[in-house]
Structure 1
């Protein structure tokens, strides 16, 4: 089934000492155009990351961003310097007696005096390792491919509607073809009547010219080939492997047969159908640019 080249996938891990987020975005590209941004501690793993992405996504303009954020290893713990607290409290109590101040807030004031509350040393947050990051990359890639698959289903539905429209228009061409040929025969009969009465009329040469002329106007083979190309295109859409490039080649063949029908038909009604078929084919080509 078709997959779009446009997609987004992410994964995240929040641990006690750190957080890691992985985001991968992809856009259209004829080949793999990959950019990778990773923290310093993963710099030696960039080659492995590129291999993972190449294998999973095949092609596209892809950006990989891995962010690492340190969290506090543990909450800060405070301890009370009891001896210093008692000393402050005694001094404040003595001063309050001297000046006759209220003593209700003395303990709170002593508790907030310098160096009474002491912070314990925090542990340093540890680094994440490759065994932690690799599963996140795999998860992000899987999510991106799921996104691509969903987009591909919508693209397949849209493209097949254009193919069905070309089939309908080709059926109209097939219906008009006998009428066109009859008009051509009538014109030829009129020319034969005029030429046969002329001097130096060469019957053999005339018959050869007519055979050549009729072959140039015959579009039967082009119609058959176009039907086959449309059938092959439909089969290819539903193949499990990436088919974007193959569909591009088939669409070129479809365009070649449509153009030949238009150039050989020499009929205004068929020309009208050919123009519409070309419009549908352009819509297909536009969407194929976004297919993996």
Structure 2
């Protein structure tokens, strides 16, 4: 199925003690190029996010913004360094005796001294975090992909229409080419008759020159290849796999190559105009392909 690389998806989930928001924006890029913004606390989940994206997206720059907020209180443990507290207490008593002052030391006074206690948060279960994040991410991805599919179908219809137009113009080139050779033969006959001022001319020589011109200006091979490329382009758009963009881009390059060869052989205004029309449509198709996955 044809998909554009442009799209947007957003999802918000509140469950299992988490409030999560995922936003995805897709734009053109030659390769798969994810850019993830996530809290430093959850950086270890970044590889899982990339793997999930790869399952749904083949090409394009994807900007992912992930917000994770815990809605439940953190479980915390208080750790007390009893040895340090006792050392503080002994040192303060010794200092009080030395200064001959009262050693009225309260527990809260020790508690306030540096490093006597520390607040430790219980390690978070990232597997549980990922379970919620994966669900939120998939919902956002589904919306992004849906938008990319709809845009891709619009692009496909436009390119198929242009491809049909190119086929019509190539068939006109095919019909016009032998006529140009015949016209050249008549012009040659008229020119020679005019120059030598005689009613009879060497018909064999005229036919020979006309044959040389027809061979030099023949576009039969180019027409055959163009038709083949046009058919393949049509088939890929209608029944293509995940590499549609790259395959079609290659075919468009080949069609440009063939039509440029036709342009170099064309010795006719009408054929030159047809070539211009074909190249204009190919250029429009190439622009559209820049946004195909």
With the length of structure 1 as denominator, give the TM-score of the two structures: 0.72
Classify the secondary structure of the residue corresponding to 2:177. Answer: helix
Please provide the CA RMSD for this pair.
2.9
TM-superposition CA deviations, 1:215-244 (whole Å, max 9, x none): 211112211211111001000112132310
Q: In structure 2, what is the equivalent of residue 223 of structure 1?
A: 223
Matched, 1:260 2:265: no
Work out the CA distance in 2 between the residues paired with 1:162 and 1:276.
11
CA distance in 1, matches of 2:168, 2:206: 38
The equivalent of 2:90 in structure 1 is: none
Separation (CA, whole Å) in 1 of partners of 2:147 and 2:179: 50
> What is the CA–CA distance in structure 1 between the aligned matches of 2:274 and 2:67, rounded to whole Å?
55
- Give the whole-Å Cα distance in 2 for the aligned partners of 1:251 and 1:31: 19
2:283 counterpart residue number: 282
TM-superposed CA distance for 1:154, in Å, is: 0.4
What is the 5 A alignment of 1:1-292? Answer: 1-15=1-15, 17-71=17-71, 129-190=129-190, 211-238=211-238, 239-292=240-293
Paired residues of 2:188 and 2:206 also in contact (CA < 8 A)? no
Structure 2: how far apart are the matches of 1:254 and 1:17?
A: 57
- Segments of structure 2 that go 5 or more residues without pairing to the other structure are 74-123, 198-202
Give deviations 1:49-80, integer Å, cap 9, x for gaps.
1222133211211111111234477xxxxxxx
CA distance in 2: counterparts of 1:25 and 1:170, whole angstroms: 40
Task: Give deviations 1:136-162, integer Å, cap 9, x for gaps.
Answer: 212222221121111110000011111
Would the alpha carbon gap of residues 278 and 291 (structure 1) be closer, same or farther in structure 2, given more than 3 Å must change? Answer: same
Alpha carbons 2:10, 2:139 under 8 Å: kept: yes
Q: TM-score, normalised by structure 2?
A: 0.72
CA distance in 1, matches of 2:250, 2:195: 47
| Equivalent residues of 2:181, 2:214 under 8 A apart | no
Shift of 1:185: 1.4
In the alignment, the residues of structure 1 paired with residue 66 and residue 14 of structure 2 have an alpha-carbon distance, to the nearest angstrom, of 14
